[in-house]
Amino acid sequence: MERNEGLADFLRARRAAMNPEQAGLHDAAPRRVPGLRREELAALAGVSVDYYTRLEQGRPITPSESVLDALATALRLDPAERSYLHTVARRPPASRRRTPRTAQKVRPGVHALLARLGDTPAFVMGRRTDVLATNRMARALLADFEAAPARDRNAARWIMLDEAARSLFADSWEQVAVVFVGMLRMDAARHPDDTRTAELVGELSMKSEPFRRWWAGQKVVQPGHDVKHLHHPLAGPLTLRTEALTFPGDPDQILFTFLADPGSPSDEALQVLSAWAADHAGSGGAQPARPTPPR
């Protein structure tokens, strides 16, 4: 039976990141390494040290739901991390894993929804953080993904490698980047044999030190809602509320929207940006001020 390195790596990283005082351990003895000791975590989860050690070594063991829940509670995992723990622990044998061969497609109704959103920037993200569809305002606000080759339309690659993306999210770049890295890790756990995911992770690991650090830290994120502060080269400073919505029947596709409070300076700035984008779309030309993602 094959080893479960994904589960082992995640447990080691989360144990190392756990503050002993958070777990109610207040011993004064110095620690040679950060985080909890194996025997401490095993005791908190109610399992034997030997059993936990074998899990952390990646031994071919399938822990029960109750053991996984106990470990998640002991490690104080958030909902996204808890879901990831269960996903990597239930990884099927290689002989039963299949990578989807069909291209990701966005339903016509979703394309119509993007167009109907008007002045609200919106895009659809799929597997491995690929950008599957965008509306006119998303292309004006973020980048013209649809002008790039299909394999290069990827949010994680864009946020990690594009200097324009770093400038756009100047005050919150790290926060945004961590989200996309965490989403990529969750996708990699759900589809462990996807070669394109492995290629993307390898590329970003070579080209980005922050990506290497966050990937090694086993950060896992499920998108939700937030407030982002942007510095757009045309619209200026923007404060936008982001929402991430999963489509019924297709958990691998997520709709992201960027909304300004009605009547706010950001709302007015988006209207100016909308007029600019409409002028460029109406002229039939590309939008030169918005870069395409890097290859």
Q: Are 146 and 164 in contact, with CB atoms under 8 Å apart?
A: no
Residue type, 145: F
Query: Could you read off the pLDDT of 224-233 as tens digits, one per residue?
Result: 888 999 999 9
Q: What contacts 93, CB < 8 A, 6 or more positions away?
A: 1, 2
Helix (H, G, I), strand (E, B) or coil at 259: strand
Domains of the chain: 5-96 (1.10.260.40), 108-282 (3.30.450.180)
- Model pTM greater than 0.85? no
Query: Could you read off the pLDDT of 134-179 as tens digits, one per residue?
Result: 999 999 999 999 888 888 899 999 999 999 999 999 778 999 999 9
DSSP string computed for 177-232: HHHHHHHHHHHHHHSTT-HHHHHHHHHHHHH-HHHHHHHHTT------EEEEEEEE
Strands 250-259 and 122-125, sheet pairing: antiparallel
- Maximum average pLDDT range among 11-20, 143-152, 221-230, 259-268: 259-268
Q: How many CA atoms lie within 13 A of 261 on its CB side?
A: 7
**Hey, which residues does 250 pair with through a beta bridge?**
247
- Under the banding of pLDDT at 50, 70 and 90, the label for residue 252 is confident
- Under the banding of pLDDT at 50, 70 and 90, the label for residue 51 is very high
Give the position of tokens 């005082």. Answer: 21
Sheet holding 250-259, edge to edge: 131-134, 122-125, 250-259, 236-247, 225-232
- Under the banding of pLDDT at 50, 70 and 90, the label for residue 81 is very high
